Amino acid sequence: MKKSAGLLIFILLLSSLAYPALAFQADNLTISLDPEGNAHVAFTYHLSWLEYFAVFTRIVDPAIEVRQFLEENLDRTVIVQSAGTDSTRLTVESFAAVERSDGATTLTTPEMSFTAAQKVLETYWFSPLINPDFTPAITIVRFPDGYEETFSSVAGIPSLTHTYSS
């Protein structure tokens, strides 16, 4: 049994060298802000079969990786509701700054760069084996009043400020 598992892992690694372009691809990122500035995040993506295998066999746990990356880079508490082979749902507490005045609420989000994820990935031993694309095809930032900003295939989004009647 151990020999067949070792052979399977060897074949998977060898195959990944032959097809390094088959890797993680970000699809959609939706950030829905609540009136307190918390972000409820839905992220969908595609994995290569090697990455799928790593997640399925628990070699890599996306919930832990995503939480650690976001907490370190945003300096905020992250609660992962679910993380799997095709999507992650999480909450980032106090993601946006909140200012209330004269019956209006202003939310300001931080600037975000998806290239930071690539730099973190480069620190792992297996980074030469994969070629991920962390840039979501569509990124939506939705505010509590329904106003939203949409970005297509950009490597980051600027800080956004939106004021609405509360």
How many structural domains does the chain have? 1
pLDDT at 58: 64
- The rounded mean pLDDT for the chain is 80
Query: Which of 20-34, 60-74, 80-94, 99-113 holds the top average pLDDT?
Result: 99-113
pTM of the model: 0.78
Confidence of residue 30 (pLDDT cuts 50, 70, 90): very high
pLDDT grade for 4, boundaries at 50, 70 and 90: very low
pLDDT at 78 over 80: yes
Lowest-confidence region among 5-14, 26-35, 98-107: 5-14
What is the predicted pLDDT for the residue at 132?
A: 73
Which band of pLDDT confidence, cut at 50, 70 and 90, is reported for residue 135? Answer: confident
3-state SS string for the chain? CHHHHHHHHHHHHHHHHHCCCCCCEEEEEEEEECCCCCEEEEEEEECCHHHHHHHHCCCCCHHHHHHHHHHHHHCCCEEEEEECCCEEEEEECCCCEEEEECCEEEEECCCEECHHHHHHHCCCCCHHHCCCECCCCEEEEECCCCCEEEEECCCEECCCEEEEEC
Who wins on pLDDT, 10 or 83?
83
Provide the residue range defining the domain that includes 40: 2-165
> Average pLDDT for residues 147-158, to the nearest whole number?
94
